[in-house]
Amino acid sequence: MKDKCGIVGIHSKNSSIDVSSSIYYGLHALQHRGQESAGIATFNSDNINEDTYGDKNGLNHHCGMGLLIDAFKGDIINELNGEVGIGHVRYSTTGQSKFENSQPFVTTFNDFSIAIAHNGDIINSGRLRRELIAEGVEFTSDTDSEILCHLIKREFLKTSDMIETLENVSNIIMGSYSLVILVNGDLYAVRDPAAMKPLAIAEKDDTFIVASETVAFDVIGAKFIRDFKPGEIIYFKDNKINSHIISKADKTKNSHCMFEYVYFARPDSTIDGKNVYQVRLNIGHALFDKFPIDADVVMPVPDSSIPAAIGYSRASGIPYGEGLIKNRYVGRTFIMPTQEERELAVKLKMNPLVSELKGKKIVLVDDSIVRGTTSESLIEIIREAGAKEIHLMIGCPPVIAPCYYGVAMASKDELIAANNSVEEIKEKLGVDSLGYISVDDLVDSIGIPAEELCLGCINENYPTEIPSDLEVESYYKF
Ligand code: AMP
């Protein structure tokens, strides 16, 4: 089970401030990063009340399945008051979806409680799990976060020092990780030495906030301070930002995930100094430069490709228009085992605007093609609506290999571009032309040198070695 998600951590400088509702709203802004489950853990030093497990250690903890609004029904959020806390939204993959895998993961020992929330994939987790089991650890979930929790506990019992503990753990684990960790009332936030996943820090009045994306700061009115550096641990001793760089970071090259810019992050976020909306506009411009089509209208596959479609329209002068209306209330509430049901699901989610499509030459922009099933259904819908020509422009180079670091793409045999040429994909999808952005143009659009990006899924050049027993997962489409 992998962990690809959104995380928030808040430290307040004074114990009368309650952080639980700010964590909740911050997580709301990160809901796009995960809809499978949500959870919050806080620590309240003034009121060492019983936690969910009946322990009196100041820790309050609640997790629930589904969207935040489902996971935190009624008055639960008010029962989680504390001056420091962390939160998590979990992403849906075709792996097992169960309550035990929701985060933050919490453990207590001696006088300590640890809560941890994780975004990323620990790629040697299989071996680490087996080792911990051999040491007598009993696991209650399938998550990497539980492994991290036990490793932290083990190393902390040896060192009694969290920085030393996190240094030791970073030498044991491989993969991507942005973490928020609550050790009693102390908040630690960590970005892996390759800085694969985003993590940033902001400030508001008497609180410090860390979050996966800057949109979480906007919603609570916090002022962005900066992105975490690669391998940076930030903690808040004496109510100040204290920073420590994990020694391994010296020997590790930056590998920021390019897919955050292409699809995963919200367009109104800025990651590592690059505004996601601007990157997507650039992608649209680059697509027009390479594939200038003479068309009547440029249309996005809503929502993620809207900025790229606007970019194409601005560069070409071809009007931007809508041709597919998205039903925003179709969540991933059901799994469709048959092809017929999957087709129905696409129709449920996207309805064509016949008046805008009929007889038109269309440039259709999408952020990426992974398995190709979505594009195939959408092209069929647009054809049925009477479009004269469909030119499909894709804002991500062909996805030819799995992601092992937290973006559940799919296995190689499921990836359409791993098994077909662009010409073959064009034929399969039934489009008049198909244009994929090139790797160089994508890199230029992002504005970060290729050497500092992870492009593993599009060039198979992975930033770490890949254990042979690693399994990959696909995402749920609905
Ligand atoms: P498909 O080609 O049918 O697998 O679907 C591709 C579409 O799914 C893309 O246009 C994105 O909008 C979306 N998508 C791509 N990658 C992911 C992912 N890892 N998780 C969720 N949705 C994704």
Summarize pLDDT for 181-234 with one digit per residue, the tens. Answer: 999 999 999 999 999 999 999 999 999 999 999 999 999 999 999 999 999 999
With a 6 Å cutoff on the Cβ, whether 370 touches ligand 1 is yes
> Which residue is closest in CA terms to ligand 1's atom 21?
475
Q: What is the pLDDT of residues 257-272, one digit of tens each?
A: 999 999 999 999 999 9
369 Cβ inside 6 Å of ligand 1: yes
What pLDDT, on a 0 to 100 scale, did the predictor assign at position 115? 96
Question: What average pLDDT is seen over the chain?
Answer: 92
Q: Is 367 annotated to bind ligand? A: yes
Could you give the percent of the chain with pLDDT greater than 70?
Answer: 94
pLDDT digits (tens, 9 = 90+) for 433-459: 999 999 999 999 999 999 999 999 999
Is 80 exceeded by the pLDDT of residue 305? yes
Counting atoms of ligand 1 from 1, which one is nearest the CA of 366?
A: 10
Q: Structure pTM?
A: 0.94
Q: Could you read off the pLDDT of 71-110 as tens digits, one per residue?
A: 999 889 999 999 999 999 998 776 667 888 899 999 988 8
- Side chain identity, residue 139: F
What phi and psi values does residue 79 have, to the nearest 5 degrees? -85, -5
Q: Residue 58: what pLDDT?
A: 87
Our answer on whether the CB atom of 374 is closer than 6 Å to any ligand 1 atom is yes
Q: Which two tokens stand for residue 316?
A: 């070409």
Ligand 1 neighbourhood includes 376 CB (under 6 angstroms): no
Tell me the catalytic residues.
5
Any atom of ligand 1 within 6 Å of the Cβ of 217: no
The widest CA-to-CA distance across the chain, in whole angstroms, is 72
Instruction: Show the domains of the chain with their CATH numbers.
Output: 6-255 (3.60.20.10), 278-447 (3.40.50.2020)
The rounded Å distance from CA 111 to ligand 1 centre is 44
439-446 vs 276-290: helix axis angle to the nearest 10? 150
Q: Which amino acid is at 211?
A: A
Q: Who's near 138: CB < 8 A, 6+ residues apart?
A: none
Q: What is the pLDDT of residue 329?
A: 84
pLDDT on residue 1? 44
Distance, CA 71 to ligand 1 centroid (Å)?
A: 25
Which residue in this structure is represented by tokens 């599009």? 458
Is 375 known to sit in a ligand binding site?
A: no
Q: Is 454 annotated as a binding residue?
A: yes
- Residue 125: pLDDT band (50, 70, 90) is very high
CA 435 to chain centre: 26
Q: Is 304 annotated as a binding residue?
A: yes
Atom of ligand 1 nearest to the CA of 407: 19
Helices (H), 373-438: 373-384, 416-419, 422-429
Q: How far is the CA of 372 from the centre of ligand 1 (A)?
A: 9
The residue whose CA is least distant from atom 20 of ligand 1 is 475
Ligand 1 atom closest to Cα of 367? 10
Within 110-218, strands assigned E span 112-119, 178-183, 186-191, 200-204, 207-211
Given this model, what pLDDT does residue 339 score?
Answer: 63
Separation of alpha carbons 323 and 317, rounded Å: 18
Is it the case that residue 3 has pLDDT exceeding 60? no
For a ligand 1 pocket test, name from 5, 370, 381 the mutation site with the most ligand atoms within 8 angstroms of its C-beta. 370
Q: Is 257 annotated as a binding residue?
A: yes
If you measure from the C-alpha of residue 94 to the centroid of ligand 1, how many angstroms do you get, rounded to a whole number? 13
Q: Is the dihedral of CA 160, 165, 168, 173 positive or negative?
A: positive
pLDDT tens per residue, range 350-370: 999 999 999 999 999 999 999
CB neighbour list of residue 165: distance below 8 Å, 6 or more residues apart? 152, 155, 156, 158, 159
Neighbour-count burial of 181, counting CB atoms closer than 10 A to its CB (0-12 exposed, 13-18 middle, 19+ buried): buried
By alpha-carbon position, which residue is closest to atom 17 of ligand 1?
A: 409
CB 267 near ligand 1, within 6 Å? no
List the beta strands (DSSP E) in 329-424: 350-352, 361-366, 389-394
Q: Label residue 332 by pLDDT band (50, 70, 90).
A: low
What integer pLDDT is reported at residue 135 of this predicted model?
A: 96
**Known binder of ligand: residue 218?**
no
- The answer for 281, left when phi > 0, alpha when psi is -120 to 50, beta otherwise, is alpha
